[in-house]
Structure 1
Amino acid sequence: MRVSSKNRLFVAFGAVGRQSSEGEDTMKLFCCLAVLVAFAMSSMSIDTLQDYRNLERHCPAPFFAVGPQCFYVNRAEKSWSMGRAACQRIGGDLADPSNTYLLLEAIRDKHESWVEKFFWVGGEIFTKDSDGSMWAWFSGRPVTEWAPNQANAREGEDCLMLGLNDDPPMYDYFCNETYPFVCEI
């Protein structure tokens, strides 16, 4: 007996010789995939699954991992440019997180009692006019997680800041003010 390619799936489920509806085809395909996934999962150890869930990089102390990135919160209060220079002296730069909210949660989890709730991070203003300002992370991605009424393009607010208790958390602020800062390597 010759089976057409359309009926191959039906052979697997013992349904040769009858046409089924599109919904039945989808359900059969879903069941087949579920069986394959169950076989694959049973051959993986719990440790392997844990490794997939925690695709975090090993970071040297005092840095901590957030996914594949390593961050360090320096409590010393410095201007934005001095904070950046301090990060560069240890081989990094101000933080450029791929996910701002994950970094924010990690800082909250690791440092429960902060006196200061704002931190310098690595982004720059690249245009500023009467309609507002355009900002980018050091990587070139646009900064999008602005707190209400931010970025407000006030004169001199040319540096990027993360607000620990805010959602969304990003602010533009005066670069010469001193705050703790977040480094990334």
Structure 2
Amino acid sequence: MRAILAVDFLLVAIRFGTSSTQDASETCPSPFKAVGTGCYYIAEELFGWDEARVMCQESGRSVGQDADLAIVDTCDQHAKLWHYILINHNVSLGFHLGGTDHGEEGSWYWLDSTPIAMGVPFWRPGDPEGIGDQDCMGFYKDGYFIDRPCDTAVMSVCQLGVTGLNN
């Protein structure tokens, strides 16, 4: 069943993501790349979630802009970003994104305080699991959102223009 869902998601990503990237030199400062409606930097260094936020913020400051872990709040952007990642990066470990339920267990919010949509097509079936120490979210290796412990060292997706709380 999971394999079928992953294939279905991949087909959606390919269908909607074929023209998802632009010439980054025209729209986004290096190392960020234009994908869909945003500028993203896929950091392949492995960090826990808090360390990944610091790294994203520093990456933004290096180009004179605000940045933080990515906010992926539409199906279209989710598909385009995952398609870009799938083509250009190793997905075996997954990626941190800018979502957490730190404030209240089970209440998921993006770093800008907007609520995170629950269920399919965003979340992997069975996630979020609601286990107490899984307070940070990201992409799983199949492109769905999952919750995981914040100290899990994985790659990260940074986004320009994101100003999270507690910056």
Give the TM-score taking structure 2 as reference length.
0.67
Indicate conservation of the 8 Å contact 2:21/2:84, yes or no.
no
What residue is the counterpart of 2:148 in the other structure? 173
User: Relative to structure 1, is the Cα distance of residues 157 and 69 closer, same or farther in structure 2, using a 3 angstrom cutoff?
Assistant: same
Q: CA deviation at 1:142?
A: 1.8
Q: CA deviation at 1:55?
A: 9.2
What residue is the counterpart of 2:81 in the other structure? 103
Runs of 5+ consecutive residues of structure 2 not aligned to the other structure: 1-18, 61-66, 161-167
What residue is the counterpart of 1:138 in the other structure? 111
Q: Which runs of 4+ in 1 moved over 2 A?
A: 53-57
Distance (whole Å) between structure 2 residues aligned to residue 55 and residue 108 of structure 1: 13
The one-letter code of the counterpart of 1:119 is F
Indicate conservation of the 8 Å contact 2:71/2:110, yes or no.
yes
What residue is the counterpart of 2:40 in the other structure? 71
Distance (whole Å) between structure 2 residues aligned to residue 76 and residue 116 of structure 1: 13
Larger Rg: 1
Indicate conservation of the 8 Å contact 2:85/2:91, yes or no.
no
What residue is the counterpart of 1:120 in the other structure? 96
Q: 1:83 aligns with which of 45, 52, 58?
A: 52
What residue is the counterpart of 2:132 in the other structure? 155
User: Relative to structure 1, is the Cα distance of residues 123 and 115 closer, same or farther in structure 2, using a 3 angstrom cutoff?
Assistant: closer
Indicate conservation of the 8 Å contact 1:124/1:136, yes or no.
yes
Pick 1 or 2: higher relative contact order, CA cutoff 8 A, min separation 6: 2
Runs of 5+ consecutive residues of structure 1 not aligned to the other structure: 1-52
SS at match of 1:84: helix
